[in-house]
Amino acid sequence: MKYFKIFIFCFFISSFLNGERILVIFKNLPKNLETKNLIKKNEKYKFIVLDSDVESAKELFPDAISVCKEPKVKAFYDPNDTYFSYQWSLSEKHYNLSYILDSKVDGDGVRIGILDTGCAYEDFSIPSNESSLVTSTDGKYHKFSDFDNINFILPYDFVNDENHPNDMNGHGTAVTSVIASHINNSFATAGIVSSPTVLVLRVLDEKGEGNLTDIVDAIEYGVANGCKVLNLSLGGPAGDSTGWTPLHQAIINARNNGVAVVCASGNEGVGQLSYPAGFEEAISCGAVDYNFTRTYYSQYGTNLDFVAPGGVVYQDNNGDGDYDGGILAPMIEITDSLANVSNFYLYWLEGTSFSTPHLSSLFALMFSIGYNLEEIVDIFISNALDLGNSGYDSEYGYGYVKPDYIFKQDILTKSINYSSLSNLITFSFFIKNDSIIIDSFKLKSLFKDEILNYQKDGKIYTIDLSVEKSGIYNLTLYGKKDGTPFLQEKSFGLKNVLDNSTFIFGGDMTLSSNNSFLLFDDSNSIKIKTDSKVKITKYSNESERLKVFSNDVEIPVIRYEDRVEFYVDKDSYLRFFISNEKYEVFKNTKTFLLKDKELNWTGEEYFIFDRSGRIVEKGISKKVSFKNLPYGIYFLKGKDILWKIVKLF
C-alpha cells in the first residue's frame, strides 16, 4: 500500500492594504460615496468594504448600522496522510451509486456552483501574479483527467477578480470530485452526478481562506447565472455571525429564487453551527462516518438540517487493520513548500467539506427531474433515514438522505400547480420504473366520479383538473407493473374562495382563509398551496412543546393550553415536532355563553375575531360590547387571555 502525506501549509503574502478590510453596513447607502480607501461597494445589500480600521470607519460613517472587521471564512476539511482504494460513501449501504445509475437520474442541465478554492478544470498558463504561489513542471495549471465529462461554464475568480479560478490549494478540486468525477471510466474515483454542469467560483485563496463579501458576490453571480445548487464547504467560527448580515441576505435571496445553498456545519465538534450553515435559509449539512455515527468533528445544534458521509480517516471500516474511513478524493500534489499543480494524487480526507457535496449532488439530481427547491426539501425530510433521537434532533437534523429512499417510488409526483383564480390544479408525475404502463387516472369525491384526460411526454404524465367545490378529493392512477394491475392514490383538500366556512382537516387541524387554498397530507407533512393568508389551528395536548416548521424554517406560533395558532401566506410544507423545551402558553382560556350584550374586561386592549380569523372589532375598555354583532361564535383575545364567545341572540 502506498501512502502520501499531506501537510497543513501556509504561505506569506505581502499585503497591498495599509489597514484591514472593514465591513460597513448601512440602512441606506450614502449618496456620492467617495473615499480613497474604498475596496468594494454593494448597493443591493447596502454595504461597503474599506481599507481602514474600525474606529476610523466609525468616525467616517457615524450613522452606519454596523462597522466591523470583515469576517473571514475557511475551508472545512482536515487533510490526513493515508488513503485506500475504494469509496465506501458510494456503496450500497450509503449513497448507492449503482442504484442512482440504474434510476437513470443524471443531473443533466442543472447548474451547480462550487464556491471554494477553485478547481483543476483547465490547462492554462500560470499568470505572473500567481507564479510564486504554486509550482509546475511546465508553467501551466492542468485539468484533472477525471473531469473530462464535466461541462464547466462561466467560471470566475472572486479573489483575484478574473476569469480563471484555478485551484492553488486542492480543496476545491476534491470537493468537485465528490460531485462530478467521471463515472465508469476505469480511472481514479467516481462522482455522484453523471451529467454535471459546474460553475467554478473561487472565493478562497491558496491558504483556503477568504472574505465574506466575495462569497456574497459569488452567490449573487451563481443565482444570476442559473445555478440551482450552490455548494459552500466553508464557514467561520462556531456560533459567531457578527458582520454576516450581507451573506445572510444573499442566502435569503437565493432561497427565494429556488436555489439550494448547501453549507458545511463546521469541523469544531461543538454544539453550535458555523455560519453560513447556521442561517435558517441555508441547507446545513453535518457529517457521519461509515457506521452512520456523527463524526467527532461535525458541528451540530440549532438549524442543522441533514447529515451525509464526511468520513474519519483513522477508522478501520472493515476490520482488516487498515485505516479506510475517510473520503477518497483527488487533490493537486501537496509538498512541503508550494502546491504542485502538475501532479494529482488520491488522498483520504475527512470533514463536513466532503459531506456537503454529497448532499449537494442529491439536490442536483432531484432538480434534474423537475422538482423545485421546497419540494426537494420536503421529500428529503420525509424520506431521510432517522438517526439519533426519534424525529428531528440537533445532532443529526432530519437525518441521512439515502438515494434509494428518495428514488424508491416507482412513480414520483414531479410537480403540483394550483391557480386560485381558475381553480385549475395541474399534477405532473414522473414514471421512474420502465416496467410500469399507465392505463388511466380517476378523480372521485362526493361531487365527482370521472375518468380524466392526460398528456404524456416521455416518462412524464400531466393532468389538469378543474375543481370548483370545497371538499376532499381522491386522485387514483391505474396501470400495470410487470403485467400485474396496480394503483396509486393521492388525496387532497380544496377550500373554494366562495366558501367562508372553516376547513377541518385530519380531525386535529382547522384552516380558514378569505381566499381558496389546496391542501395535501403526505403523512410526514402537510402541504398547502396558497397565495393568500391562511390561519391554521393545530390541536395538541402538548401545545407547550409543539414546534411548527414551514419549508424547513421554524415559524412563530401563538400557544394555548390545547392548541397552537399560526399563519402561512405562501406555498408551504408544514411539519410538527414535539420539542424537549417548554414554551409559555395562554392559560386563561374560557368559553362563555353570552347572556348580556356586554362582558366585563380587564381594561387592556382587546380584539374580537370571527370564526374565519378576521378581526371584527377592537378597542381598549373595561367592558366589551357584542350588541352590534350578529349571533354566532367569536373569540375575544387580550395579552394573556383568549375567550370563546357563543352569542345566541
What is the SS3 assignment for 254? helix
Beta 306-309 vs 283-288: how paired, if at all? parallel
Residue 623 grid coordinates:
367592558
Q: Is 171 a catalytic residue?
A: yes
Catalytic residue among 78, 106, 116, 289: 116
Tell me if 165 sits within 8 A of 143, measured CB to CB.
no
Which candidate, 506, 507, 500, places its Cα nearest to that of 519?
Answer: 506
User: Residue-wise over 443-465: b if at least 16 C-beta within 10 A, else e?
Assistant: bebeebeeebebeeeebbbebeb
- CA 549 vs CA 1, 61, 573: distances in Å: 49, 39, 8
- Enter the DSSP assignment of 423: T
Q: Is 182 a catalytic residue?
A: no
Q: In whole angstroms, give the CA distance from residue 166 to residue 545.
A: 50
Which candidate, 225, 7, 200, places its Cα nearest to that of 116?
Answer: 200
Residues 6+ apart with CB under 8 A from 288: 294, 295, 298, 307, 308, 309, 310, 355, 387, 396, 400
What is the SS3 assignment for 481? strand
Catalytic residue among 94, 142, 164, 171: 171
Tell me if 394 sits within 8 A of 300, measured CB to CB.
yes
Tell me if 329 sits within 8 A of 172, measured CB to CB.
no
Angle at 371 between CA 193 and CA 100, to 5 degrees: 30
Alpha helix locations (H) across 286-397? Answer: 352-368, 373-383
Q: In whole angstroms, give the CA distance from residue 581 to residue 579.
A: 5
Q: What own/partner pairs with CB < 8 Å and gap ≥ 24 does 568-571 have?
A: 568/528, 568/530, 568/533, 568/534, 568/536, 569/530, 569/531, 569/532, 569/533, 569/534, 570/530, 570/531, 571/374, 571/527, 571/528, 571/529, 571/530, 571/531
Q: In whole angstroms, give the CA distance from residue 188 to residue 202.
A: 24
Residues 6+ apart with CB under 8 A from 150: 121, 176, 180, 182, 196, 197, 198
Catalytic residue among 181, 195, 284, 353: 353
Q: Is 52 a catalytic residue?
A: no
Q: In whole angstroms, give the CA distance from residue 70 to residue 81.
A: 33
- Enter the DSSP assignment of 48: E
**C-alpha torsion sign, points 91, 96, 102, 105:** negative
Give the residue carrying C-alpha cell 421554524.
554
* Catalytic positions: 116, 171, 353
